[in-house]
Chain A
Amino acid sequence: MWDYTDKVKEYFLHPKNVGVIENADAVGDVGSITCGDALKLMLKVEDGTEKIIDAKFQTFGCGSAIASSSALTEMIIGKTVKEAEKITNQDIADYLGGLPKEKMHCSVMGREALEAAIANYRGIDLEQLKEDEGPLVCQCFGIHEKFIEKVVMENSLKTVEEVTNYTKAGGGCQSCHPAIEDIIEKVWKEKGQYLHVREETPRHKPAMTNLQKITLITETIDKEIRPNLVQDGGDIELIDIVGNEVFIALRGQCASCTSAAYTTTSIEDKLREMVAPDIVVHLESD
């Protein structure tokens, strides 16, 4: 069961501003039945002041989609179109006391509907907007590049999982994950940060002298492996290195740990990654 806040529950069970505005000044339709949620946002805007004097919605979707839509209408009534334009998806989530991370896309849908409605109010051709969406990235949910870029930028997203939670992109067949990784890296690069989202390939070092190898193994144990074990009240002792065979003993909590075999495997994985792919670790027992 989702851990919804009381406010989300309240806005789902007793949503405000459900319905239709006949002759609305602005309409924003987003989503699709295939993807599992859709929202129709309708606005009444006062002439001259451009103040939103009424907002209503209809939503097809889960509890948090309905709650987000209702919250959005409450947030924008009384604001001018210009003021409303500044509302972000995070603002909608915050208004509800937060949303489960897997449900953030509900707040993004609200924000999208608002954008579409404002574009409609200003007489901007939706077809034109669509052309600016960039290439299609996620086939399963029909999500385009520009949209993902924007959401990554606005919400400082760093992983594919987060992008999926916010936009649904990548939540189906997963074949677009590399493309999403590229987008994340591109956005952060523009922000001046170099992220490496994709898992790095193991750094296989070129042939080393025995001395270099021993030094690297000792370093890896000291810097990468021991700190983790010490955290769990254990320790590791390097006993000997013969060719590619590394003999170790586990101390402290680790010595009696029932998952010693698992620990050995993960130590071996680490050494294979950092030193050489053919390292074999032997666990010495006292």
Chain B
Amino acid sequence: MNKVIYMDNNATTKVDEEVFEEMKPYFTGLYGNPSSMHTFGGQVGKKIDEARERVARLIGAKYSTEIIFTSCGTESDSTAVFSALQAYPDRKEIITTRAEHPAIMSLVPHLEKQGIAVIQLKVDKYGNLDLNEYGRYLNEDTALVTVMTANNETGVIFPVEKMAQMAKEKGVLFHTDAVQAAGKVPINMNDSAVDMLSISGHKLHAPKGVGALYLRRGSRFRPFLKGGHQERNRRAGTENVTSIIGLGKAAEIAQAHIDEENTVVKEMRDRLEEEILKRVPRTILNGDKKNRLPNTTNISFEFIEGEGILLLLNELGIAASSGSACTSGSLEPSHVLRAMGVPFTAAHGSIRFSLSRYNTMEEADYVIENLPPVIERLRSISPYWKDGRPTLEFEPQFN
């Protein structure tokens, strides 16, 4: 397998060449500690400030000091949640959704053990929230609302701005995980009611192992990592200098290309999606067709299992991902699809293609040509499929 057609950009992305070039001098040459008193370290500190400004510009933050660099999106999420709980010790409720990333979802049992009531808002079959339900739960006991900006599996975009406004009216802190959204859709924190926002480097062509948390000036905050005075005492630990510089450059490039995401990338995604839905029978588009990220499509192929599809696509040099149980190592399919009520006949056979500006229309066409035979082949093996359509003849007594 020489060339990979990489359509798994919601999992991670290629580090942009320019980003890598920007990072290079800071490994073996300019390796000083940004906290040092000497110029050799101090110049690195200046470069970090530049990165901070670049990230601030990407998300429209008014002050660059509102950006705290972290090690990843997960750290940013955890920081936001635990900071809110410590800053408001009398408030014992958190509102989130059933479709969050594991970075938030996995905290739920842990928080419940600590006596925090976690309200997980329902989503409808298109993955959208009911704001009336949300409004009913918001109250003076709410320590934090944490709702993702865009879903990693379906790309569905939540109305975080409206939700943050509603939280603000009740004096409740609002956090959003914008890991998938940043760089793909415009974000403007200067004109927003959101208090905290998480981003991750490796989802926008910066390296893995770096993230950031936007923290609105004046918001209550308690650090997650304690130690040195880095990041203005808000995140201890010597800075991951090269990656932070990479994230800064990637933010700058993402900002310059944001229109491309909504034109070029969207066009490729739309063509891929339309052709697959047209050419393959018994397929279901998961998520809200209109209200979602321009790069993501999540399609269920009924009566077959996702892992088999991925393995055959892998043989063709195509990298995608699946919400099936077998690919995750757990035994149940994606919690996002289940929350949306996608039937099991479809959830097990869901495939996500997530594109980037590095994909080409030729690649989309290659997938369009090669995917239908893969689906047909697996269906020909499936006992739930007969003569080009589903069959009800197969009903095992044992399961």
Contacts and interface: CB of A to CB of B under 8 A. Distances in A.
**Interface SS majority for chain B:** loop
Contacts of A62: 305-308, 324, 326-327
Interface in A92-131: 102-103, 112, 116, 126-127, 130
A211 B332 CA distance: 54
Contact of A168 (B305, B331, B396): B331
A158 B259 CA distance: 57
- In terms of DSSP, what is the predominant structure of the interface of chain A? mixed
Q: Which of A59, A63, A103 has the most chain B CB atoms inside 10 A of its CB?
A: A63
B331 A31 contact: no
A171 B381 CA distance: 26
B332 A61 contact: no
Contacts of B344: 33-34, 36
B394 A12 contact: no
A33 B345 contact: yes
A35 B326 contact: no
A146 to B, nearest CB: 12
A142 B331 CA distance: 13
Nearest to B307: A62
A32 interface: yes
Given A40-B394, A168-B331, A63 B307 contact: yes
Given A39-B383, A40-B383, A141-B331, A60 B397 contact: no
A59 B306 CA distance: 13
B253 interface: no
Interface string B338-382: 000000110010000000000000000000000000000000111
Contacts of B312: 13
Interface in B303-339: 303-308, 311-312, 315, 324-327, 329-333
A36 B396 contact: no
Interface in B267-308: 303-308
Contacts of B395: 29
Given A58-B381, A58-B382, A62-B326, A116 B305 contact: no
Nearest to A116: B398
A152 interface: no
Interface string B387-399: 0000000111111
B308 A61 contact: yes
A140 B396 CA distance: 17
B398 A33 contact: no
A164 interface: yes
Contacts of A168: 331
A142 B397 CA distance: 11
Interface in A158-179: 164, 168, 171-172
Nearest to A169: B331
A61 B303 contact: no
A148 interface: no
A126 B397 contact: yes
Interface in A132-188: 140-142, 164, 168, 171-172
Interface residues of B, number: 32
Contacts of A39: 383
Contact of B394 (A38, A66, A141): A38
A61 to B, nearest CB: 5
A37 B378 CA distance: 13
B378 to A, nearest CB: 8
A144 to B, nearest CB: 9
B304 A60 contact: yes
Contacts of B126: none
Interface string A31-57: 111111111100000000000000000
Given A33-B384, A40-B383, A60-B304, A172 B311 contact: no
B110 to A, nearest CB: 15
Contact of B396 (A9, A15, A31, A102): A31
A140 B382 CA distance: 23
Q: Which of B306, B380, B399 has the most CB of A within 10 A?
A: B399
Contacts of B398: 29-31, 112, 116, 126, 130
Given A66-B308, A66-B381, A172-B332, A61 B326 contact: yes
A58 B394 CA distance: 10
A179 to B, nearest CB: 17
A227 B345 CA distance: 53
Interface of B: 303-308, 311-312, 315, 324-327, 329-333, 344-345, 348, 380-384, 394-399
12 contacts: A13-B312, A13-B315, A29-B396, A36-B326, A36-B331, A58-B383, A59-B381, A60-B303, A62-B305, A63-B326, A140-B332, A172-B332
Interface of A: 9, 12-13, 15, 18, 29-40, 58-63, 65-66, 102-103, 112, 116, 126-127, 130, 140-142, 164, 168, 171-172
Give the top 6 A-B pairs by smallest Cβ distance, nearest first: A171-B331, A62-B326, A62-B307, A29-B396, A58-B383, A40-B383
